[in-house]
Amino acid sequence: MRRARSRMMAEINVVPYIDVMLVLLIIFMVTTPLLTQGVNVQLPKASAEPLPEAQKEPILISIDDGGRLYLNKAADPHAPLSTAKLEALVKPQLQRTPDAPILIKADEKVPYGRVVAVMVLLQKLGASKVGFVTDPSGHGNAPAQGSANPQARVGMDAEVLS
C-alpha cells in the first residue's frame, strides 16, 4: 500500500485582495466628484477640444451670474473676492510660476465687459495666456438637451489682450 502524502498548497488566496481593491474603487468613485473646485455657474456652450492633462493645477477664476469673483487658490474658494483682493492673491502666484495655467469660468449671463476686465487685470499681473472653461454639450448657442451635469472642457487658445 502506498502512503498518501499530504502536500502543502503553494497557492496564494487572492480573494481578500480583490475585496480590498473593490472597496477602494468604490471609495474613489464616490469621492472624485467631490474634488471639483470652484463655484457652480452656467457655462456657455462651445465646441472646443479638451486640453491634455496639465502637470500644474490651474489658477481658476470663477465669475458667477452676479459678477462676483472667486479664486480656487484662495483661503475660502467659495467666498466672493473684490478685484483688489483677487489681484493681491493672483500676483504672487504668477510671480512664483509665470507659466501657470489660468482659466476663467464665467457664467453665460455675465456681461462680456466683466470678463474682459478680469482678462485686463490678468494681463497687468503678467499672464500671457488665459483659457476659458466651456460646456461641450452644445454647439454654438444651442442649449444642451438632456445634460444636467455636463463635463467642462477647457480651451487655452485665447490669448490675453495685447
What global pTM score does this model have? 0.55
Name the phi and psi angles at 36, rounded to 5.
-65, 130
Domain segments of the chain: what residues? Answer: 39-155
pLDDT in tens, 13-70: 888 899 999 999 999 988 887 776 666 777 777 776 665 554 567 888 999 988 899 9
Name the phi and psi angles at 137, rounded to 5.
-75, -10
Position 23 scores a pLDDT of 95
Contacts of 5 (CB under 8 A, 6+ apart): none
Least Cα distance to 63 among 86, 46, 37, 39 occurs for 39
Secondary-structure class of domain 39-155 per CATH? alpha beta
pLDDT in tens, 119-153: 889 888 888 778 888 877 655 444 433 333 334 44
